[in-house]
Amino acid sequence: MARAREESDPEQNPDAHADPEAVAREIVLRQLTAQARSRQELATALAKKDVPEAAAQAVLDRMEDVGLVDDSRFAEGWVASRQQRRHLSRRALRHELQRKGVDGEVIGEVLQGVDDEDEYTAALDLAERKARSMSGLEPHVRRRRLAGALARKGFGAGVVTRVLAEVGGGSEGTDEAWD
């Protein structure tokens, strides 16, 4: 029974259908149903399923024409989501989009929409959440750990310093707190 299901599932067995474009279309639609994806991610998924490159390109071009595949829209949604939920810096967002195969020009355009205040807000939200779980620590330990968490998310020294001054609350913002 499982073998019969595998043979009829084009994502498990692309040879189940004679038309490689139909197979590619089914795979792409299934991938997009699960979550938004970049064109490069979809091309990689098709290559893993041994879909001929010509069929893959034709299907991806058609999906772009009808608006189902749009790297610019994908990148905008990715940035909004990741900045809100994961509190990432522009640098970290750029790196993630590059890994997903989004064109550098598209990344640049999308990240222009992330201003310094957006980045500061993301860093502050992250620091406030982390600081709540560190309330029992000494101030200098808490500041050091918060600074490390912010740096790992890609925030620059200026943003980290500004956030620590606000979250740290005054006297903890002195240089002695870093010792």
pLDDT tens digits, one per residue of 86-134:
888 999 999 999 999 999 999 999 999 888 898 999 999 999 999 999 9
Residues 135 and 163 in one domain: yes
Residues 52 and 30 in one domain: yes
Residue 177 DSSP class? G
pLDDT tens digits, one per residue of 65-87:
999 999 999 999 999 888 888 88
Question: How many structural domains comprise the chain?
Answer: 3
Residues 46 and 59 in one domain: yes
pTM (2 d.p.): 0.74
Which CATH number do you get for residue 161?
1.10.10
Residues 107 and 136 in one domain: no
Residues 99 and 121 in one domain: no
pLDDT tens digits, one per residue of 28-78:
999 999 999 999 999 999 999 999 999 999 999 999 999 999 999 999 999
| Distance in angstroms (rounded) separating the CA atoms of residues 58 and 74 | 20
Residues 41 and 55 in one domain: yes
Residues 120 and 170 in one domain: yes
Residues 83 and 43 in one domain: no
Chosen domain end from 112, 137, 170? 112
pLDDT at position 125: 92
Residues 10 and 42 in one domain: yes
Domain range for 11 is 2-65
DSSP code per residue over 3-22: HHHHHH-TTT-GGGSS-HHH
Closest CA to 46 of 24, 62, 68: 24
| Distance in angstroms (rounded) separating the CA atoms of residues 131 and 123 | 12
